[in-house]
Structure 1
């Protein structure tokens, strides 16, 4: 038996986990190793699997049922859960689910590749085609998508941190970021009915590159559905755009040409929503909230995010203002 629990310094946790797994899994456990917080790789003599902790039994059962429903509806580009018996595996108030292990491709998935960006958005479109059929089943189970609430909270928190942030950035840059966020938010708030005119799907909620992965046979998968909600697909499209814009040099033309975005570019609401600097606000709020400003590595990352492509981001904002003519 090989195990890696150095991060806990707690052999008791390891033995409890091993004991529970041996009772549930019909195979000999060979190795357990930590991938990240509350996520472990378990190797047996018959198969490998991912062990992931959830805050409640209900959340685990929703994930099990949802991924099973995706498969049944024809979306095969994701994992499934193993359910050997109904008795939950609970340690330290976490309920652990057992997920199919997908053997990864030798190259990590990133948005720096044009091919990856194209295939990711195509996979999301397939996902929405399926989840549109599941909305009626899950509308009383999953939360509704609340974009405006999220944007307002993010803006208010950033505003409260303004004096701190000005110790690290030029005041004029902080002021410009605030201007972009406030202009965008005020418009969206006054035109919130736009979201209610769109058909709902089940949004993924976190379309970062690490929630896509290729397997050893080059098949692309969509993973980690912890943040799923009911809402119009524009919610994920905005987030996806925000994630890839640095990789395409903040090019409006390149984004507009991508599958799914042509129609959105005809809508003023979407263009103004693109102006909201959600990534900058999110990361500054996080580093201050977690009291990590003394961590030089994390501070350098958030400073780089803010300043590295700032001129291109500013031109992007100005061009969008010209397009909408407001």
Structure 2
């Protein structure tokens, strides 16, 4: 068995021997893709190998994939039947390696955004019908609790963040977060029917194949919650792309149902992206900090004027709706 290794590749010969035996194929080359992800090339096929944090996390994803495939949702990449692979204290899974499109999927065009929303809507349509037993394997997602934790973490980092960003701008974002948490209304039942949500609907979790198909991938953060909360996160990711023009993204039919929800405007106003990216700046390694900082600076400082006007406009609209 010949293997081509790169520095930092932690796949041991023993693990590759086990993988080769399970696949019943001779492994020729292994390429690291990202941390915990590899391309494995055999004489017959190309496989995608991924390491998971725990056996239970992988098993519930295998079960979800199987449910989706059995119910006509084909836009997930199936697990190989040899998965899971347990090696020492690590857990791995194997999937077919699908050649990616040369053009990454980025939510940049209306057509891309519409395609992503249609795929999400079909996914939720299926997962609203999972059995109670399967649903119970996923943790219950609590949006307000997540917000509180993000705001608290952001506030705790302020003494360090002021070295990177203007203090007055950081204070504005803190106030935005506090206002949203103060005014969001906990109203059970208003958010819609329970489903299994994806939990991380960033553009990199929509995979365009070279053949043109769009897949939903990486269900590591899947949770039990109303589908609404996947769309809240999706809108939060897309708003910077469209210059915080809520009306522009609400043209998508999939989102029209949620515009009538009591908390919808507040959900779009919470600066989750700023809190997330500022935390990433402080937690990333020195090697990657420059890239993380450039992205966070774009969101936090360069776009601040537009973001501030967006917040003021929809705050007034929300207050008007309250009478």
Q: 5 Å matches for 1:1-326?
A: 1-8=2-9, 13-84=11-82, 88-91=85-88, 93-188=89-184, 191-194=185-188, 198-290=192-284, 292=286, 295-325=289-319
**Which TM-score applies when normalising by structure 2?**
0.92
Question: After TM superposition, where is structure 1 displaced by more than 3 Å over at least 4 residues in a row?
Answer: 194-197, 289-297
Alpha-carbon deviation of 1:280?
0.5
Deviations 1:174-231 (A, max 9, x none): 111011110001122xx12246652111100000001111222211111111111110
Pair 1:78–1:94, CA change in 2 (3 A) = same
Deviations 1:260-296 (A, max 9, x none): 2223222341101211100111111232244759933
Pair 1:79–1:157, CA change in 2 (3 A) = same
Give yes or no for contact 1:39–1:50 (8 Å, CA) kept in 2: yes
Mapped partners of 1:85, 1:177: distance in 2: 44
Mapped partners of 1:5, 1:21: distance in 2: 19
> Aligned to 2:125, what secondary structure does the other structure show?
helix
**Which TM-score applies when normalising by structure 1?**
0.91
Pair 1:81–1:325, CA change in 2 (3 A) = same
Give yes or no for contact 1:135–1:201 (8 Å, CA) kept in 2: no
Mapped partners of 1:56, 1:167: distance in 2: 37
Pair 1:314–1:195, CA change in 2 (3 A) = farther
Pair 1:295–1:207, CA change in 2 (3 A) = closer
Mapped partners of 1:80, 1:66: distance in 2: 10
Alpha-carbon deviation of 1:151?
0.6
Mapped partners of 2:210, 2:292: distance in 1: 32
Mapped partners of 1:295, 1:133: distance in 2: 42
Aligned length: 319
Alpha-carbon deviation of 1:109?
0.8
CA RMSD of aligned residues (A): 2.0
Alpha-carbon deviation of 1:298?
2.8
Structure 2 segments unaligned to the other structure (5+ residues): none
> Aligned to 2:244, what secondary structure does the other structure show?
coil
Alpha-carbon deviation of 1:162?
1.7
Alpha-carbon deviation of 1:167?
2.5
Mapped partners of 2:110, 2:163: distance in 1: 37
Mapped partners of 2:251, 2:83: distance in 1: 48
Alpha-carbon deviation of 1:73?
0.7
> Aligned to 2:48, what secondary structure does the other structure show?
strand
